[in-house]
Structure 1
Amino acid sequence: MLSPLPAYGCGVPVYSPNARVVNGEDAIPYSWPWQISLQYEKDGAFHHTCGGTLIAPNWVMTAGHCISTSRQYEVVVGEYDMSSAEGSEQRIPVPTEGIFVHPKWNPTCVACGNDIALLRLSHTAELSDKVKLGCLPPQGDVLSNDYPCYISGWGRLYTNGPLPSKLQQALLPVVDYAHCTKLDWWGPFAIQQSMICAGGDIRSGCNGDSGGPLNCQASDGRWQVHGIASFVSALGCNALKKPTVFTRVSAFSPWIEETIANNS
């Protein structure tokens, strides 16, 4: 069966990310070229609400909890510094009929999982050195404990802190299921097998955004998006032993491929 998702030409940035950053800091411009800003319309202007990943020229992957049926959305690709127009941005509307939230997503039960949505854009994004597709991992792929991944986004710099204008990144090592479900970590009830935990110390999750990618480099050098940022602890985004929790993309490969194939 032919996969509707491109196998080649994804996950290779023209501008290499700085993989030496430990704490969150400004990303190298356009080094996560599949990162998008999901924005909603209010009072005639669009406002950033969540991150997401460009996975096909006209499809974006984000979190289910980012979507409210009453809102109008657009996706901005080629974005780096939100405070200035850099000329690389493309603003693409998301028609209401192009919103596909996972059928089992339940907004009153984030811990139940299925926090994933796909957005079909009104037209395709123009790919360039600053706009590229993210690769998805193979179905069922689970990363080992401590695997180095990077969260990226325009999320807060620290709990209740300001929102940055430039794209941020932070190293978040994977915390495997056995560790993450320990009682003094998240425990067995908040974490499903279809989730991936990462971080859990001073670097955790503030630098990302809901819906944004957890970027992990595969052995062939390509970056794969293994996670969609789902939730952090009520104690704040850098609480010890409370890593950021992501939807595990490889658990939803069949739903992603089916949704795109049936609605393209």
Structure 2
Amino acid sequence: MFFYGALIMSLVFFSEGKICPKNEIEVINGNDAQKGQFPWQVELMLETTENDSIFCSGAFISNNWVLTSASCINKVKRMTVIYGTNDLGNNANTIKTKSHIVHEDFDNNTQQNDVGLVELESRVIFDETTKAICLSEDVIGDGVNVTIAGWGHSNNDNINITPILQYVNVSTIKNTECAEVFGRDIVTSTVLCTHDSSLAKGPCINDGGAPLIINADTDPKHVGIFSFIGENGCEKNFPAGYTRTASYLDWIKNKTGVGVPCK
């Protein structure tokens, strides 16, 4: 029915209740991000309890907490955070993690409550390339321009993550429209969807947990966490689904102390 956005070196997707292997893919029709353009963006390198290697994304919400998806960090035994760069191959900073939290009501079958947190082993130093993103308390409607970025694969056949951070501007759509594709059990009130009817563009598998941002160039705020896409892959131009940030502000603040207004 859908791909969960978490990433997975031996990729999987859901079809009629079954999990099947699939080649990995990425942010489609993206642009190269410049150094410091998305200073909150991080890459997570993960090893699961089943010894799978995983890559996904997240965002600094403070100098020692990263917000990502539950599907990304579920069943993870260790991880490293890469930060402060748009180029993974150019002396990127890395830091180990202290702990991680998966939402207690996360449902891997429907992707409900697909939100997670990663605590760093120490506080990072903020500068022009490393900053936290503010969390939005607004419930985003349809027809709103937003931005998604991530290090993913360039097409269905590529097996390597893209070293340069890619980003695209997309538009939100009505939940009722998105539910026609994925079903109402998946597209609930805590889910936000994006789609471009004229061109296949947006996030894909190895971008799981990536932040969806409103007003990225002027007053950036975190409005969603990339969660899932259509089962036929990103290049088939299905909508992309995100966990709404505003729906989980109390949960995030309870776990981390980080809340709104942004300080």
Amino acid paired to 2:104: P
Tell me the distance in 2 between the aligned counterparts of 1:80 and 1:221.
Answer: 19
Flag structure 1 segments of 5+ consecutive residues without an equivalent. 1-21
1:146 alignment partner in structure 2: 143
Higher RCO (CA 8 Å, separation ≥ 6 residues): 2
Q: Percent identity?
A: 27
Partner residue in 1 for 2:118: 119
RMSD: 2.3
Structure (1 or 2) with the greater strand fraction: 2
Write the mapping of 1:128-207 to structure 2, written as runs, cut at 5 A.
128-138=127-137, 141-161=138-158, 162-181=160-179, 183=180, 185-201=181-197, 202-206=200-204
User: How far apart in 2 are the matches of 1:191 and 1:104?
Assistant: 16
Structure 1 pair 243/70, CA: closer, same or farther in 2 (3 Å)?
Answer: closer
**Distance (Å, rounded) in 2 between the aligned partners of 1:238 and 1:173:** 17
Size of the aligned set, in residue pairs, is 224
Match of 1:18 in 2: none
- Distance verdict in 2 for CA 1:165–1:260, change over 3 Å: same
Identify the match of residue 246 of structure 1 among 235, 242, 245.
242
Structure-1 separation of matches of 2:111 and 2:89: 36
* Structure 2 counterpart SS, 1:205: coil
Counterpart selection for 2:207 from 188, 206, 209 = 209
Matches within 5 A, 1:80-95: 80-85=86-91, 89-95=92-98
Q: By how many angstroms is 1:208 displaced? A: 6.9
Q: 1:115 to 1:213 in 2, by over 3 A?
A: same
Q: Any stretches of 5+ residues in structure 2 without a counterpart?
A: 1-27, 259-263
Structure 1 residue 178, shift from structure 2 partner: 2.8
AA paired with 1:122?
A: E
Where does 1:228-243 land on structure 2 (aligned, <5 Å)?
Answer: 228-240=225-237, 242-243=238-239
Residue 11 of structure 1 corresponds to: none
* Contact 2:148–2:202, Cα closer than 8 Å, also in 1: no
Q: 1:261 to 1:206 in 2, by over 3 A?
A: closer
Match of residue 37 from structure 2: 31
